[in-house]
Copies of this chain bind each other. A is one copy, B any other.
Amino acid sequence: MKPEFVIDATNFMDIVKNLSFESIDIYLEDKNIKVIAGKSEFLLPTMDPEEFPEIVPNKVEEGIITFERQKLLSMIERVIFCALRDSENVSRNLNGIYWDFREGGYLTLVAADGYRLALSELSMDIINTPPSFLLSLKSMEELLNVLRSSKTENVELFFDGARVLFFLDDDNIEIILNVVDATFPDYVRIIPQAFKTKVITSTDLFLKVLKRVSIAAKNDQVKMEIKDSIMELTAKSPEVGLAVEELEIEKEGEDIIIAYSPKYLREAIDHIGTSEVEFNITSESSQTMIKPVGDDSYMYIVMPVRLK
């Protein structure tokens, strides 16, 4: 179905928002739309409806996947902050979220920026597993905004190979997003399998200590010295000086001294959501895996920084 006429949505919304009249009249005059309200008159150029893309995918009942809105929202929020911001970079494939469907009813959302990666998983009843796809950060942010302001219980997803349709049941809203034609890196390869040191501590306490010690880090590193039952966090900078604080932990494996970007640690902790957090450290120079204790649906992988 082709539209009658096509106008710029942002400009049109801007106009309608600022009109304080009871009713507005809209006329199509040649290639312009005339909007009249009170003594206000707007003449808006239209675009060629023939060039308006055919965007509605042909839904096939068996291909529809149903999500609880709240669950989908939280899955996206737990990974989106890791996506690479820069879209003009060579790593265009990182400027988005990868929707990885796997046989058996598994969906994993993945976002990464080259220094860290976040992954949230969901197990569902799926009749036909669709192919995996990549959606741009921009379109994911728009979807997120709609999901946040909606009150619908369920969201349906349908993928026709090029476009993804999200349907918000109760709101009767359809959102159609083009997938990005780029290959997302093989993230499974990045998930470490063996660990040298495993640490469990209180998420809340760790966050408080991290916040305080980070003050002295400025934009530099926070050092974690891990011994039996104690973790010492340290940071220093010429401007602020030195900050040191201890924290009780449970530890398995070797003692280690390791450093991270305070921002990258902080953002991981912000998305843990359980009372205890687990650090799985492979070495001072390879990936650390951070996850909520008792929740296997979330994982955050971060590169340590070189100790100063």
Contacts and interface: CB of A to CB of B under 8 A. Distances in A.
Contacts of A42: 215-216, 240-244
B15 A212 contact: yes
Contact of A41 (B8, B14, B208, B244): B244
Interface in A13-27: 14-15, 18-20
A245 interface: yes
A2 interface: no
Given A39-B246, A246-B39, A32 B212 contact: no
A239 interface: yes
A11 B243 CA distance: 12
A2 B307 CA distance: 40
Contacts of A243: 15, 40-43
A45 interface: yes
Interface in A226-252: 238-247
B241 A43 contact: yes
A8 B237 CA distance: 13
A107 to B, nearest CB: 38
A41 B212 CA distance: 10
A306 interface: no
A59 interface: no
A241 B44 contact: yes
Contacts of A8: 239-240
Given A18-B215, A211-B18, A239 B11 contact: yes
By secondary structure, the A interface counts as: mixed
B11 A215 contact: yes
Nearest to A45: B241
Contact of A212 (B40, B208, B240, B247): B40
A230 B41 CA distance: 16
Nearest to A44: B241
A212 B18 contact: yes
Contacts of A216: 42
A232 B124 CA distance: 61
Nearest to A19: B212
Interface string A200-237: 00000000110111011000000000000000000000
Contacts of A213: 40
18 contacts: A8-B239, A11-B239, A11-B240, A15-B212, A15-B215, A15-B243, A18-B212, A20-B208, A39-B245, A39-B247, A40-B209, A40-B213, A41-B242, A41-B244, A42-B215, A42-B240, A43-B243, A44-B241
Given A41-B243, A45-B241, 14 more contacts: A8-B240, A11-B215, A11-B241, A19-B212, A40-B243, A41-B242, A42-B216, A42-B240, A42-B241, A42-B242, A42-B243, A42-B244, A43-B241, A45-B238
